[in-house]
Amino acid sequence: MNTTTASPTTTLVLGRPGLIGRLSRRSAFDWLFALLVVAGAGYAFQRYHGSMDGYEQGILLGSVPAMVALGWAWGPLRVLALAVGAATLTAIALYGRHTDGFGADLAQADNVFLLKYFLSSQSAILWMSVLFGMSTVMYWIGLIARKDAGGENTALKLGTRMAWAGVFMALVGTMVRWFESHQIGPDIGHIPVSNLYEVFVLFCWLTAVFYLYYEQHYRNRALGGFVMLVVSAAVGFLLWYTVAREAQQIQPLVPALQSWWMKLHVPANFIGYGTFALAAMVAFAYLIQRQAEETRWWKLAPLGALGLVLCFEPIVFRASKLSSSASYWAVYAGVSLLIVLFILAARRRIAAALPAPEVLDDMMYKAIAVGFAFFTIATILGAFWAAEAWGGYWSWDPKETWALIVWLNYAAWLHMRLMKGLRGAVSAWWALGGLVVTTFAFLGVNMFLSGLHSYGEL
């Protein structure tokens, strides 16, 4: 018997390319974007390093690879970043044509056309408010309307584009406001995440950005109307806060906020708030889909009641808070009620356009997982900040206590999901109820409770 010995062969294992291979596949636009990010950071360091401590210089250095990686991972961010950078530099240049004792003359915001109507911080943020409202309307028109002949829905596409435009204007307003704060006087300048006005802007655009990512990832625009509802609710509060409290005025930081920790803690916190809100509105859509065929009104009443609360959660005010703005909030409540009734009345048509329940469930889970990770980081950073500002890592301040309640709520949700296989209506109701808890931690504590965080009161 002849014995045949197989000759050794070389096996080619196909897997993910190495770092060099991945870099070599980058387009010219990818490398141009990276070069511009590096150049911008270098210019910022060269001009402002004298005003930065070591931690702030480290944040600037770390932001370069983070920004490049994000832009390479999700293409639309490259265009957004470059457009925001160009608009912000244009605003700075327009301000810089006239100077006063502290630098740029901010009075030019009322004299220069582009600043007055588009690029000053307040103008840009008002544009953000209009665009997010229009985006919400377009998403709902598209959700109810039938598809165009080509299979696409024009109203839904307009909703997406207006949402992107709103994010653009929000970021321009934020960056220009940061610049404006430094022109008011010595030691006034700060990153605009220090009060309710500024963090509501942050919440709006962060929530919209995360939704737009999931919209592209799942290739479905039908959830835009639901998610942008909570963004529009925040815009409604922001507009009232601007008029009633003149909150757009840039104020010096209180001593506790004069820390580089704020630059890390607050954005991480609001990534959590934004993604928790997104998950709640996806849960709302899931429950609407599940009860689309329900005809007994008492079965729909709990969903309608909770939906009403979610549409105008900022209205939970004491009488003293409402006394000067009762008519505004009455209209706000009336519009919110009409929205909820419309959703319940049109639930069958809406449900038919929504993604499959499995997709909604997966989106809900991913949003909460991302939010929980960043909220955990924010809580740890907040403890370090508290130790530096007040001498202790934890003091059971109302804000800290409610942050812990939020953390425990979503930790339990994730545990039940991963360990016990929690799915379906129970999971959705829990995520939706979590928004009520999160809203109180975000806004209610500032209105009703006092403590070390009382600088955020209304």
Of the candidates 240, 180, 231, 177, which has an alpha carbon nearest to the alpha carbon of residue 204? 231
Q: Which amino acid is at 102?
A: F
| 0.85 surpassed by pTM | yes
Alpha carbon distances (Å) from 242 to 108, 157, 182, 310, 408: 21, 30, 21, 21, 33
Contact residues for 179 (Cβ-Cβ < 8 A; gap 6+): 88, 91, 92, 95, 104
Q: How far is CA 125 from CA 163, 197, 198, in A?
A: 13, 11, 10
pLDDT at 36 (0 to 100): 94
Main-chain dihedrals φ then ψ at residue 401, nearest 5 degrees:
-65, -45
- Above 90 in pLDDT, residue 340? no
> Kindly report the CA angle at 292 between 151 and 152, in degrees rounded to 5?
10
Q: Is residue 431 part of a domain?
A: yes
CA dist., res. 375 & res. 339, Å (int)? 31
The larger pLDDT score, comparing residue 414 to residue 194, is at 414
For residue 26, what pLDDT is reported?
A: 86
Reply yes or no on whether the pLDDT at 6 is more than 60.
no
Average pLDDT score over residue span 168-175: 97
**Residue scoring higher pLDDT (46 or 148):** 46
What is residue 320's predicted lDDT score, i.e. its pLDDT?
46
Residue 49 lies in a domain: no
Nearest-angstrom CA–CA distance, 147 and 153: 5
34-43, 87-96, 166-175, 255-264: segment of lowest average pLDDT: 255-264
Residue among 308, 141, 324, 331 at smallest CA distance from 222: 141
User: How far apart, in whole angstroms, are the C-alpha atoms of residue 127 and residue 391?
Assistant: 42
pLDDT of 310 over the 60 cut: no
CA distances from 304 to 119, 139, 288, 336, 398 (A): 40, 20, 10, 11, 30
Percent of the chain with pLDDT over 70: 85
Backbone angles phi, psi at 99, to 5 degrees: -120, 160
In a domain, 213, yes or no: yes
pLDDT value, residue 309: 62
Q: What's the whole-number average pLDDT of the chain?
A: 85
Cα–Cα distance measured from residue 125 to residue 131, given in angstroms and rounded to the nearest whole number: 10
Q: What is the arithmetic mean of pLDDT over 83-109?
A: 87
Q: Does 365 have pLDDT greater than 90? A: yes
The residue-averaged pLDDT of 326-351 equals 82
- Mean pLDDT for 128-132 is 98
Report the C-alpha gap between 34 and 68 in whole angstroms: 6
Place of tokens 């390093």: 49
pLDDT (tens digit, 9 = 90+) per residue, 143-171? 988 776 556 689 999 999 999 999 999 99
414 vs 321: CA distance, rounded Å: 36
Is residue 268, in this structure, part of any structural domain at all? Answer: yes
Task: Write down the residue that tokens 């509802």 correspond to.
Answer: 229
pLDDT surpasses 90 at 386: no
Residue 398 lies in a domain: yes
293 Cα distance to chain centroid: 33
Residue type, 84: V
Q: Is it the case that residue 13 has pLDDT exceeding 90?
A: no
Q: Is the pLDDT of residue 428 over 80?
A: yes
Residue 173 lies inside a defined structural domain of this protein: no
The reply to whether 302 falls in a domain is yes
Instruction: State mean pLDDT over 121-146.
Output: 94
DSSP β-bridge partners for residue 104: 99
What's the pLDDT score for residue 209? 97
Helices 196-218 & 154-184 angle (0-180, nearest 10): 150
- 198 contacts 177 by C-beta, under 8 angstroms: yes
pLDDT grade for 21, boundaries at 50, 70 and 90: low
**Contact in structure between 169 and 158 (CB atoms under 8 Å):** no
Confidence of residue 16 (pLDDT cuts 50, 70, 90): low
Domain that holds residue 244: 190-456
181-192 tens-digit pLDDT: 988 876 788 889
CB of 244 closer than 8 Å to CB of 314: no
Most confident by average pLDDT, 12-16, 26-30, 183-187:
26-30
**Which residue's entry shows tokens 């689309």?**
292
The answer to the question of residue 33 being in a domain is: no
CA 176 to each of CA 71, 84, 86, 181, 347: distance values in angstroms, whole numbers, following the listed order: 22, 10, 11, 9, 42
pLDDT score at 20: 73
> For residues 281 and 435, what is the distance between their CA atoms, to the nearest angstrom?
9
**Local confidence band at 68 (pLDDT 50, 70, 90 cut-offs):** very high
CB 173 within 8 A of CB 122: yes
pLDDT of residue 245: 79
pLDDT for 3 equals 47
Structure tokens at 99: 């100077």
User: Higher confidence at residue 159 or residue 340?
Assistant: 159
CA dihedral sign, ordered 273, 279, 282, 287? negative
Domains held by the chain: number: 1
Phi, psi of 74 (to 5 degrees): -135, 105
Mean pLDDT calculated for residue range 204-218: 96
**Phi and psi (nearest 5°) for 103?**
135, -130
